[in-house]
Amino acid sequence: MALEMKVPAVGESITEVTIAQWLKQDGDHVEMDEIICELESDKATFELTAEASGTLKIAAVDGETLEIGALICTIEEGDGAAETTSEAKTTGGTAQVAEAPKATGEVLEMKVPAVGESISEVTIASWVKQDGDFVELDEIICEIESDKATFELTAEASGTLEIVAGEGDTLEIGALICKIAVSEGAPVAVKETAAAAQAESTPSATAAGSQTYATGHASPAASKILSEKGIDPNSINGTGKDGRVTKEDALRAEKAAPKAAAAAPKAPVAAKETAPAAPAGDREQRHQKMTPLRKTIAKRLVSVKNQTAMLTTFNEVDMKPVMDVRKQYKDMFKEKHDIGLGFMSFFTKAVTVALKEWPAVNAMIDGDEIVYNDYCDVSIAVSAPKGLVVPVIRNAEKLSLAGIEQEVKRLALRARDNKLTIPEMEGGTFTITNGGVFGSMLSTPIINAPQSAILGMHNIVERPVAVNGQVEIRPVMYIALSYDHRIIDGRESVSFLKRVKELLEDPIRLLLDV
């Protein structure tokens, strides 16, 4: 009995996922709940586990983009699956020759398939097959790029390929991309036996004769990574099947140092006198595709700017009281809780207190209604290898400083390892972002929709300030609150930020709740 595994629902706003890599091979035996592949969405990477024990039959390859509910693989339950019998058998080292393919007279038109609700056009990245080649049913013939992902187009029948659109052409959904003159049967390659015999006598011929399309060609997932690194896939020795460059090869690859430019021929003396001096240094450019995560971030940020009445208010915080507390108790804190005492826990705790007093800052707009939240799910902006992610600390108002620090560390480590799940990033009511870790002095952070406000932290700089009529050098941080003016008035925003300032400049207030 074969169990069909389909792409699971991973979030309300996600309609498709991309297969990052298969951890198991087609035909492998897998155990129930064993991880078989990794899937990527525009928000996170997660693992797919086997729903039963049996033999794995892969239906979608690495880099392929599938809609939610699409078939991804089947598992033949039991001790083993039925073995596939080969159609061509060898006798004495010589391949049997089948009948030549027969044309049926039917010409199949292949058109650009629908790849997503919001995608209206695609671009042909590369043709795997050449015009006039014989192709098999379900054989990969070209790679197509959309604004969300790269995927492979497979032949819908066996026959002779006639290419209509060339590489780099942009086509609308439903446009003609190629034709296939349908044939019955397929040519049998008898060259394999001859090549093998020749390889025994000529080792150098083996390398050339054994190359296929896969040799030196990167999978879509690997191609995306190499493009981001600016590395030519042909310079990588692939470890996949037939030498295909896999995602692991791409992750390990390092860009080689540029070769020294060849010496230019000496120009005549007269030309040297009149020609302008060449500029010093390299003037090369390189283009790389935006990742799905980067595209989603860009789309969301532009949407927020266009759909909200965003405004930013500022204040400054004397960080000396918090720094004194940390200096006095950090060792005892570390010994008891096995976690460092950072600034984020103080800011998160101060924010949760201020949100209770100014609930509009913790609210959001839903159509014609304002939704007020009686809890504080604080989103923490974290810089991950693939881009900015915003995991959520649930019910932060109920956590101690130690509890907040432990949750921040847990989420940051999962973000670094690309293991954050969709539920860990959904449902925040307020966001804190810390540009100070990169040296930012002041900024106007953009709201994390559908939330209504975001607090920006910045670097701490010693500045001269007036304290009780005296000029003193104090560690000062500028803080910024960006908010949606449709729901939060100026009085509320300024009062909220002032309350956060008061709590940080007198941390005892956090303990006494005053």
Structure tokens of 181? 């003159």
User: What secondary structure letter does DSSP report for 436?
Assistant: G
Torsion sign over Cα 317, 320, 324, 327: positive
β-sheet with 134-135: strand ranges across: 102-111, 176-184, 159-163, 134-135
Residue pair 376/397 in contact (Cβ under 8 Å)? The answer is yes
Active site (annotated) includes residue 338: no
Tokens 């996949």 -> residue: 240
Candidates 42, 458, 489, 506; catalytic one? 489
Across 319-401, where does the E strand assignment appear? 364-366, 369-371, 378-380, 382-384, 387-389, 392-393
What secondary structure letter does DSSP report for 218?
B
Residue type, 338: D
User: What does the buried/exposed string (b/e) look like for 252-278 if buried means 16 or more CB atoms within 10 Å of the residue's CB?
Assistant: ebeeeeeeeeeeeeeeeeeeeeeeeee
Which candidate, 359, 407, 406, places its Cα nearest to that of 379? 407
Q: Which is nearest to 37 in space by CA: 63, 76, 69, 11?
A: 63
Identify whether the C-beta of residue 211 lies closer than 8 Å to the C-beta of residue 199: no
Catalytic-residue membership of 28: no
Burial class (CB in 10 A: 0-12, 13-18, 19+), 91: exposed
> Quick one: DSSP state of residue 240?
S
| Token pair in block for residue 363 | 């609210």
Residues with catalytic function = 485, 489
